[in-house]
Structure 1
Amino acid sequence: MAHQQQRIISPHVAEYPPGHWSNCIRVGDAIYLSGFTSRGSDLTTIHGVGDAYEQAKVIFTKVKNCLEAAGAKMSDVVNMTIFVTDMAINKEVWRARREFFTGHFPCSTLVQVAALGTPEILVEIQCQAHAGSGA
């Protein structure tokens, strides 16, 4: 049976206008999240400038909010790709991640990139979840 795509919007996460991208799409029990940075609700302010730990906490909070809006939870995340502008900040990103995940951590890839949306953005995250799969 084919499942319809459902765009998930959280009242706690700023959403770009249609024609850019969706933060969260649910298809059946599969949930796809991408483009998460520490941009504020005005989509221009960057929270945690110069601080990868703070940026990662903002991002993980957004992921959590979108998952909850989709009827899922952080423990349902099965795969994650984290983009950083400097591999040296990985310990700060992992520190923030430990505050949001327990038990089985999602499969994860950390990739250093030359740049993200603006020079102030140090971290961007995308992930996939399966609603109801976590502990």
Structure 2
Amino acid sequence: MSQTEFERIYSRAPWEQQVGYCRALRAGDMVFVTGTAPIDEVGSGVFAPGDAYAQAARCLELIERALRPFGTDRTRIVRTRMFVTDIARWAEFGRAHAEFFQEDRPTTTMVEVRRLIDPAMLIEIEADVFAPVSG
């Protein structure tokens, strides 16, 4: 892939078509994962309503799943951005983040937002990944 080409992957999220975005995009050696909400396995509901830790863990699990088609994983994530609806619960969100990354810690930002697309969502996470193209 040349530096000017993009590779996109999509999920089944209904918002992708409505809003006009992709799940993740490779641009050269970088992969960008769109804001990831705590969606359940069916894709139509919110995972673990009210549970800040479980929702953060779910977002991170979905981010790693989005990286697989690009042949990379959590160890290559260089930055996360956490958008939370209640910053007072920072320790719950942070514990899930710390457990997920362990020693492969990225840079991160956590900011409080007024609300997310579904009122039951407590967090949404974006990720930037350094994943050099082989060959």
TM-score, normalising length: structure 1? 0.86
Q: Does 1:18 align with 2:17?
A: yes
Amino acid at match of 2:17: P
Amino acid at match of 1:6: E
Give the corresponding residue for 1:102.
102
The number of residues matched between the two structures is 129
Q: Deviations over 1:67-98 (max 9, x none)?
A: 12211110111111100001111111111112
Residue 126 of structure 1 aligns to a residue in which SS?
A: strand
- Runs of 4+ displaced beyond 3 Å: 13-19
The sequence identity of aligned pairs, in percent, is: 28
Counterpart contact for 1:49–1:120, Cα < 8 Å: yes
Counterpart contact for 1:8–1:70, Cα < 8 Å: no
- Separation of aligned partners in 1, 2:121 and 2:95: 18
Give the corresponding residue for 1:85.
85
Q: Does 1:8 align with 2:9?
A: yes
Q: Deviations over 1:42-88 (max 9, x none)?
A: 44310110001110111110011111221111011111110000111
Give the corresponding residue for 1:62.
62
1:40 Cα deviation after fit: 2.3
Which structure 2 segments of 5+ residues have no match?
none
- Separation of aligned partners in 2, 1:35 and 1:44: 16
- Separation of aligned partners in 1, 2:13 and 2:25: 12
Amino acid at match of 2:7: Q
Distance 1:22 1:123, change over 3 A: same
- Separation of aligned partners in 2, 1:8 and 1:79: 20
- Separation of aligned partners in 2, 1:122 and 1:41: 17
Amino acid at match of 2:77: V
Describe how 1:35-46 pairs up with structure 2 within 5 A.
35-46=35-46
Amino acid at match of 1:92: E
RMSD across aligned positions (CA): 1.8
- Separation of aligned partners in 1, 2:36 and 2:12: 10
Counterpart contact for 1:75–1:102, Cα < 8 Å: no
TM-score, normalising length: structure 2? 0.86
